[in-house]
Amino acid sequence: MKVITKDIPIYFGYLRIVITKDFKDAVKRLKLNGIDLDIDDYGAFVHRGKRNDDSPLYTVVVQPDIEPDLVAHEAVHLVNAVFLRVNAQLDRHNDEPQAYLTGWFVREVYKAIKSKN
């Protein structure tokens, strides 16, 4: 299991990227509370929590061989979680904030996966 934590720009909080083949072990070792789904059926998932200092922590758990479409899928969940926390509205007439953050999440997960090899 590889774990990388990054500061989220502009919106604050932290992104924790977990690369593993064993999701159940990751949930147990990282103490991801509230996971009540059968994660064996998933290729990735997002968990919202807090660090010990009470700052927001968004965890994305992925397999080492994750496909790009699934990274983008999880990035949408991450963006929505951040926007909900900061009370930002998705705006179809000005979607730059959403596009920027989506791109940042995808890039960071991609870099983490590439550094795994």
Q: What is the pLDDT of residues 1-55, one digit of tens each?
A: 999 999 999 999 999 999 999 988 998 899 887 776 677 778 899 999 999 999 9
pLDDT at 36: 65
The token pair at 95 is 């979607």
Q: How confident is the model at residue 95 (pLDDT cuts 50, 70, 90)?
A: very high
Q: What is the pLDDT of residues 53-93, one digit of tens each?
A: 999 999 999 999 999 999 999 999 999 999 999 999 988 99
> Which region holds residue 113: left if phi is over 0, alpha if psi is between -120 and 50, else beta?
alpha
Global pTM?
0.92
Of 12, 13, 9, 35, nearest in space to 24 by CA: 35
Of 97, 115, 105, 99, nearest in space to 44 by CA: 105
Question: In this structure, what DSSP letter does residue 8 have?
Answer: P
Instruction: Give the whole-angstrom CA distance, residue 20 versus residue 88.
Output: 32
